[in-house]
Structure 1
């Protein structure tokens, strides 16, 4: 009796695992189709998909922290991460 119960439970667990895998595959396929549709819309409008903007990085002359160059505080030809570090000596 316990062997029969074991096999029934095993079959049910395998069934749930297979079902979960199939659902995940279907969701992934749908997401890929949506992304393809977006690419087609951009191409039909005569433009390419907009790439993520990349910003130059710089490091603080005092502490060495890397941060976007647009946020730099510049003094004496050096980049600093904050006005407080401008007052401190560079490394």
Structure 2
């Protein structure tokens, strides 16, 4: 039996609406933290050859570009998934009728 707690999109049933909002906010925070961690790791590996007390201009520019592309790509993927879900939604509603 699958618990509603195990699924981020799952319903919390008759749970207090404030608790449900709190849980949804916490899941969102966790997703943002994960995204920041992934972005930091990826861009650091790509841009920083020799860690030192200061970033050189090349590494700084590389980090800025890397972060911007990472955000652009993430936004593109989210938009595409949203469009796909909207396109499927009317079809799946007709199936459930």
Q: Tell me the TM-score normalized by structure 1.
A: 0.42
Larger Rg: 1
> Which structure has greater helix proportion?
2
Query: Quick check: which one's strand share is greater?
Result: 1
